[in-house]
Amino acid sequence: MPTVAEPFVALVVDKSPDGEVSAKVSDLTLADLPAGEVVIEVEYASFNYKDALACQGHPGVVRSLPHVPGIDCAGTVAASDSDDWNVGDSVLVTGYGLGAEQWGGYSQYVRVPADWVVAMPEGLDARRAMAIGTAGFTAAQSVSAIVERNILPDKGPVVVTGATGGVGMWSVAILAKLGYEVTAVSGKSEQAALLRQLGAAEVVGRDAVNDSSDRPLLKSKWAAAVDTVGGVPLATILRSTLHRGCVTACGLVAGADLPLTVHPFILRGVTLAGIDSAKCPRAMRLEMWKHLSTDWKVDLPEECLTEITLSEVSDRVQQIMAGKVVGRTLVLPKK
């Protein structure tokens, strides 16, 4: 670990005097880092849509500038003022305020509160943990919500929207591993073979979940759903879900509005389960990581994983905002 004054690199988002926000690889020192009991030397971070917003200084994500993005990171404890963590421990951090309320993982070192830290689950390492990251963690919570409502594979197909994104891919893979018949929804028809490789029984286009009519109910199709996009697709799925089905919601790239009546809830008993990963209670957080490293453990194909350095993050931001990113992106904290 460097001394207090020795520099290391991080991706710093800041605003110029003329008001332009940009993200640049810069030198920091340990003295620059926010307060916390544990310093982690970061081996891998991950790249998410929320990180892309943070890299642009989005006020809904970033509390103040300058800022270091990165809502996930994994590595080794370099210093600790907590009895719970020792130097050399292999750990990960996802969610809480990392990369949003507090400087995040796009840095060679991070300092965080001790209760944000999770021991690296047996069977995972930093790279595999960040291939999962918040995306896989969110997918696990979504699957858990379906399983908890006793919606077993024999109840019918489960639909997953945004299936080529991080949450979508992990949801398809985990559900398929558990024996569910998965229908993957994607606007990227060229990725159909990949989605089938992950376990999707059927791959359909966005039109399959894009009914903008004002009909309060549609023909029942799905026993459950993992929706990652919101808007009309979420409303369509809710109106198309079988009696006592469950639909999880974790995204809004298709819109924040929900054009819907109460009919799916009061006539079919459909459950809409919101998935909030950042503030997930610790007990459930540990349970999800246990699932992800044991009975729900899957590995995405290497073709689904892309590694980039800090200097390549800005290009990746443009790609994800244009809808051109498939799979998971791993960030190595170096120039």
Q: In terms of domains, do 139 and 259 share one? A: yes
Q: In terms of domains, do 53 and 81 share one? A: yes
233-240 long-range contacts (CB < 8 A, ≥24 apart) are 233/161, 233/185, 233/206, 233/209, 234/161, 234/258, 235/211, 235/259, 235/260, 236/209, 236/210, 236/211, 237/159, 237/161, 237/209, 238/264, 238/270, 238/272, 239/211, 239/215, 239/263, 239/264, 240/209, 240/211
Global model pTM greater than 0.75? yes
Q: Do the domain assignments include residue 290?
A: no
Q: In terms of domains, do 80 and 203 share one? A: no
Q: Do the domain assignments include residue 248?
A: yes
Q: In terms of domains, do 155 and 265 share one? A: yes
Q: Do the domain assignments include residue 280?
A: no
Q: In terms of domains, do 269 and 317 share one? A: no
pLDDT of residue 323: 87
Q: In terms of domains, do 50 and 138 share one? A: no
Q: Specify the CATH number for the domain of residue 33.
A: 3.90.180.10
pLDDT of residue 265: 98
Q: Do the domain assignments include residue 285?
A: no
Q: Do the domain assignments include residue 99?
A: yes
Show the domain range for 51: 8-120+301-332
Q: In terms of domains, do 243 and 318 share one? A: no
Place of tokens 């009519």: 213
Q: In terms of domains, do 211 and 161 share one? A: yes
Q: In terms of domains, do 161 and 262 share one? A: yes
pLDDT of residue 5: 73
Number of domains in the chain: 2
199-207 long-range contacts (CB < 8 A, ≥24 apart) are 199/172, 199/173, 199/175, 200/160, 200/163, 200/172, 200/176, 201/157, 201/176, 202/157, 203/163, 206/233
Mean pLDDT by 10 residues, the chain (335 residues): 84 92 95 96 96 94 95 98 98 95 97 98 97 97 98 98 96 98 96 97 97 96 97 98 98 94 98 96 97 96 95 96 92 90
**Backbone φ and ψ of 36, nearest 5°:** 165, 165
User: Last residue of a domain, which of 239, 258, 274?
Assistant: 274
Q: In terms of domains, do 88 and 113 share one? A: yes
Q: In terms of domains, do 140 and 224 share one? A: yes
Q: Do the domain assignments include residue 18?
A: yes
Closest residue by Cα to residue 235 from 213, 250, 253: 213
Q: Specify the CATH number for the domain of residue 241.
A: 3.40.50.720
Q: Do the domain assignments include residue 101?
A: yes
Q: In terms of domains, do 223 and 246 share one? A: yes
Q: What number of residues does the chain have?
A: 335
Q: Do the domain assignments include residue 317?
A: yes
pLDDT of residue 2: 78
Q: Do 69 and 11 meet the contact criterion of CB atoms below 8 Å apart?
A: yes
